Structure 1
Amino acid sequence: MARTLVMGLTESGTRTTINEDTFSLGDRVYPDMITGAEERSGGSSAYTQLYIVTQGLGGSGVGDLAGRIVQRASLDLLEQLASYKQPKLNFRAFANDLIREAHERIGRQIALRNEFNAGASFALFLIDANNAYVLNVGHTNIRLFRDNELFALSGTSGSKDPQDRVLIGDRTATSPPLPNTIKHFELCPGDIILLSTQGFNCGYHDSRLTEDLASPDAFAAIIRQMQIRSRESDNTENGTVLAIKVRDLELVEPSEHSPRSEELRRIYHDGINERDAPAQIVETRTDDARRETEEETMESYGTKGKRKSNGKVFFLSLLLGFLIGIVIILLIWFIIL
C-alpha cells in the first residue's frame, strides 16, 4: 500500500479559448471551469489509486467533454478491477477494455459537427498495493523520476500506419486505437510519476525537467516551478501536468488491519506529532487513571454519605418514638388522676 502526495496543474494556451485538458484527483475531475488555469493538491493512502490526464480535441468544449467521458469510463471500470485479478492483475485486459469502452461512449455521446472530429488522448497511472501500472494513448506523456534519473514510460502510437488516428473516440477509425504503452513496475519510496499533455512538454526538455525534479525544495514548489518553466518555454497550447509522489510503502492486504496504518492515521489525520505521540499517550493514560480515581473517590463519598444519612434517620425515628411514648404516658396519667 502506497501513501502518496498528488498535485495537478492545468492552464489554457494563448491560441485556445477552451481548455480541453483534464486531470483527476480522487473521484473529482478538473478543471472545474473549461477556461483559465487551476491547481489542486491532495494525498491518498488507499490500496488502489487511479490518476488520469486527458488531452481533448474537437473545439468549443467538445474535446473537454471527450476527456471527461474517458475519465468517467475509467472510474466505472475501476469498480470492476477485482474481476481482472486471477490472482494477479491482468492489466492488459483492463487497458484494452477501457480503451474500447471509452471509444464507444464518445461515439455514442458526442455528435460530429461540421468537419471537426472529436476525441481524446490520455495517460493513466494505477496503483494497486505496491504495484504500478501505466497506460497511454495518443499524445500524452508518462515519466518516472527515481534516484535522480528521469525515465520515459510512454511511447508513440501503437499503430504502425502513420495514417491511423490515435484518439479515443475518433470516428474515422475502423476500430479503437492501439495503446502506446502498457507497463508494470514496482513502486519505490520517493518515486515521482508525471502524467502530462503535449502542451506541457513543448520546449521543456528532459534535461531541464530532471534538474527541476532534483531540487531540494518542497514537492508542491517543485511542481509549480515545472509548470512555470513549461509555460515560459511554449504557452500556445493547453498545458497540464499531474504529479504523484510516493511517500512510503506498506505491505498490507486490503482486508488486513495494520497497527501501523492505525498509528499513521492517528498521527497524520488526528493532528498528533509523531515525536510527541508517546508523551501524549502517557498523558492520556494518566488522565484516564486520574478520572478512574476520582470516580472511585466519588463512589466512596457517596457510600459514606448514605451510611451517615441512614444513621441520622434511625436516631431521629428513635427520638420521635420516645417522645410520643412519653406524651401517651402523660395523657394516661392525667386521665387516671
Structure 2
Amino acid sequence: MNTMKIRLAAKTDMGIVRTNNEDNFQVAADLTSDKMQWINNEVYSLGEKGTLLVVADGMGGMNAGEVASELAIETVREYFSSDRLTDEVLKNRYSIEKYMNEVIVEADARIKQEAKRRPETRGMGTTIVIGWILDGKLYVSWCGDSRAYVYNPVAGLHQISKDHSYVQGLVDKGAISKEDAFDYPDSNIITRSLSDGTAKAKPESLLKPYELCDGDIVLLCTDGLNGMLRDSEIEDVIRNNEADMDCLADELIKAACEAAGSDNITICLCQILEGGGVCMPDTFESFDNRLAGKQRLDTRVPQHDTEETVKWYRKKTFIGLMIAFVLVLIGGGCWFWMQNKGESQVEMKAEGDKKDTEKDGKAQSATDTTEMRTETPSRAEKTNPSKSTKEQNETGAPLSVSTEIENSLEQISGVSKPEKTGEKKKEEPRLTLIHDNEPEHAGEKKEQNTRGQEPEKQKKSGEDTQGAVHPDSTHTQQYQVKEGETYFSIAKKFSISAEELMSMNNTKNTRLNAGDIILVPKK
C-alpha cells in the first residue's frame, strides 16, 4: 500500500442572504480510528481504510432542509465506522462503489421515514456527495448537484462528478454548451435528490476511480460555491492559495460571498502532498468529454507550464517530428524514382523513334540506288550500241546485259526473264563472222542487220510500255517531298492513285521524309 501524505480542511458558511444554514459536512482523516475527526491544515498519513469527505446540501425551508442534510451525514458516519468497513467491503472497486451507493440509498430511506414521522418536515430533501480516498484512489458517489472537483497545477481544475440537474440535461442533449449552463435560467432545478418522492434514490459513481497524483487538491462543495463562481474563477483562487488548505477554504468562501453569497457555502478540501502519481495534461480528458455532452466542448482553462509538462510536450513533439521526417524521406524517394522512371521511358521511346527513322532512311537510299543502277546500263546501250555489237561479234555469243541489271529491269517492266529471253532468242537476228576477203558484203550485211534490228526494238519497246509504267525521263520527273506530304497527298496532286505512285517508285514503304526525291508523272 502506498504511503500517501495528505492535508485536510473543511468549512461551511451561511452566506450573506440566507438566515439559516441547511448545509452539512463530515471529514474523517483516518477511518481506521473510531473517531471521525480532523484538524484543518494538519498533515496526515493515509490509513489502511482511507480518508472520508462528505458534503450535503439540505432544502425545504423551515429548518427541514437542515434536518434532511443532518440525517444524511449521520447515516454516513454510522456506515463508515471502522467496524462496518470489513474486508468484504474493501475487496475491490466494485464492492467499494456498491457500498457507497448503499449508504446513500439508506440515507434516503431514513429521511423519508422522518418526514412521515414529523409532518412539519414533509417536502424536505438533500443532495449528497461522498469522496473516499483509499489506496491511492479517489472513489466518488453522489445524488443531486453537489460537486466533486480535482485541481492539479499541471492540468488545472476539472469537475469529475456530473450534476443531476435540468441544465445538465440540456447540455447532454446538445441544446446548450457547458459554458452557457452557468448563466442559464432555472439552473437550481435538480432532477435527483434524497427524499425525492416515493421512488428509491438513484446515486451515481465515477466511471472509474480517479488515480490521485502529487499536487492534487480534491474539492467537494455545495452549489453555494460553484453557483456563485465559474470554474475558472474557482481555479484562480486555488492556484493562489495552494500551500495552505485552511486559508484556501476561507478565500473560496469569501469569493463566493463577494460574487453574490445568495446560498449557503460548504467546502471540503484534501491536498495530496506525496505518494501519488504524475499528472499529465490529458488526464481529465474523459471527465471533460462526459460533461460536455454532444458538443464535446473543451472546458479546460489555460495553465502554467511546469517542468513535467514541458518535458512531456518536448517528448511528444520530438516523436511527431521524427515521424514526419521519415514520411518526407519516403515520399521524396518515391517522387525521385517516379521521375527517373519517366525520363528513362522518354529516352527509350526517343531512341526507338531514331532507330526507325534511320532504318527508313537506309531503305529509301537502297531504293534510290537500285533505280540509278537500272538506268545506267540502258543509257550505255543506247549511247554505244556498236560496242555491244563488237563485243558480241568477238565472243560469238548473243548480246545480253548483266544478271543484276536484268533483275532490276524485270522489276520495273514486269516482264519475267524466261519470256524476255525467249523473245530475244526468237526475234534477234543471228550475227555471222565476216571474212577479210568480203568487206563489201560484210558492210551490206551489217547495214541490213542494223536496219532489221530497229523495227524489232521499236516493237519490243511498244510491248514493254503496255506491260508496265517505266520511270524514264519521257514520262516521269523528279519531285522533292515537302514537310507533311505523303504518297496519298502527292498522288492527288498528279491525278493518280497512291498505289500507282508507289509502284512508279518501286516501293511498298509509305513513309516519306521532307527532302526525299521521288518520281512523279509529267503533267
Could you say which TM-score interval applies, normalised by the shorter chain? 0.5 to 0.7
Match of residue 175 from structure 1: 200
The count of aligned residue pairs is 242
Secondary structure at the aligned position of 2:112 is classed as helix
CA contact (8 A) 2:224 2:264 kept: yes
Residue 240 (structure 1) aligned with residue 258 (structure 2): no
Distance 1:127 1:42 in 2: 16
Aligned residue runs from structure 1 range 125-136, under 5 A: 125-136=131-142
Query: Is the Cα contact below 8 Å between 1:164 and 1:173 reproduced in 2?
Result: no
Q: Structure 1 residues 115, 243: CA separation in 2 closer, same or farther (over 3 Å shift)?
A: closer
Q: Please give the secondary structure, in 2, of the residue aligned with 1:91.
A: helix
User: How many angstroms apart in 2 are the aligned matches of 1:154 and 1:191?
Assistant: 16
Return the letter of the residue paired with 2:88.
Answer: S
1:117 is matched with 123
- The CA deviation string for residues 128-147 of structure 1, in whole angstroms up to 9 with x for no partner, is 12121112210201110013
State whether structure 2 residue 239 is matched by structure 1 residue 214. Answer: yes
Please report the TM-score for the alignment, with normalisation by the length of structure 1.
0.63
Alpha-carbon distance in 2 for matches of 1:202, 1:29: 28
* Residue identity matched to 1:240: T
Does residue 151 in structure 1 map to residue 158 in structure 2? yes
Q: What is the rounded CA distance, in whole Å, between the counterparts of 2:236 and 2:5 in structure 1?
A: 25
- The answer on 1:44 being equivalent to 2:51 is no
- Deviation string 1:59-105 (CA, Å, 9 cap, x unpaired) is 23222222122222223222433322335552331132112111111
Runs of 4+ in 1 over 4 A off after TM superposition: 27-30, 39-43, 158-165, 180-183
- CA 1:247–1:18: 2 relative to 1, 3 Å: same
What is the CA–CA distance in structure 1 between the aligned matches of 2:128 and 2:43, rounded to whole Å?
Answer: 21
CA pair 209-158 structure 1, distance change in 2 beyond 3 A? closer
The equivalent residue for 1:226 is: 252
Structure 1 counterpart of 2:232, which letter? S
CA distance in 2 between partners of 1:249 and 1:59 (Å) = 44
SS at match of 2:88: helix
Q: Distance in 2 between matches of 1:43 and 1:67?
A: 28
- Rate the CA distance shift 1:3–1:182 in 2: closer, same or farther, 3 A: same
Q: Is the 8 A contact 1:6 1:42 kept in 2?
A: yes
- Aligned mate of 1:141, from 133, 147, 159: 147
Q: Distance in 1 between matches of 2:129 and 2:207?
A: 10
Distance in structure 2 (CA, Å) of the matches to 1:107 and 1:121: 14
- The partner residue of 1:99 within 79, 98, 104 is 104
SS at match of 2:12: strand
Structure 1 115/125 Cα, relative in aligned 2: closer, same or farther at 3 Å?
A: closer
The structure-2 alpha-carbon separation of the partners of 1:28 and 1:67, relative to structure 1 and needing over 3 Å to count, comes to farther
Q: Does 1:16 align with 2:18?
A: yes
Q: 77-86 or 4-13, which moves further after superposition?
A: 77-86
Q: Kindly, what percent of the aligned residue pairs are identical?
A: 20
Structure of larger gyration radius:
2
User: Residues 141 and 205 of structure 2 are in contact (CA less than 8 Å); yes or no, is this contact kept in structure 1?
Assistant: yes
Distance 1:87 1:205, change over 3 A: closer
- Decide whether the 8 Å contact of 2:60 with 2:125 is kept in 1: yes
1:115 & 1:212 partners in 2: Cα distance? 37
Cα gap change, 1:40/1:119 in structure 2, threshold over 3 Å: closer, same or farther? farther
Classify the secondary structure of the residue corresponding to 2:240: coil
Change (3 A) 1:157 1:143: same
CA RMSD between the two structures: 3.1
User: Shift of residue 208 of structure 1?
Assistant: 1.6
Q: Partners of 2:37 and 2:22 in 1: how far apart?
A: 12
Q: Which amino acid aligns with 1:126?
A: W
Question: Alpha-carbon deviation of 1:210?
Answer: 1.5
**Aligned partner of 1:190 among 180, 196, 215:** 215
Q: State the distance in 2 between where 1:250 and 1:106 align.
A: 38
Displacement of 1:175 after TM fit? 1.9
- One-letter amino acid matched to 1:223: A
**Aligned partner letter, 2:215:** G
Q: Distance in 1 between matches of 2:64 and 2:120?
A: 13
Q: Which amino acid aligns with 2:44?
A: S
Q: Deviation at 1:115?
A: 8.6
CA distance in 1, matches of 2:249, 2:52: 19
- Which structure has more relative contact order (CA 8 Å, sep 6+)? It is 1
Q: How does 1:28-39 map to 2 (within 5 A)?
A: none
Q: Which amino acid aligns with 2:26?
A: S
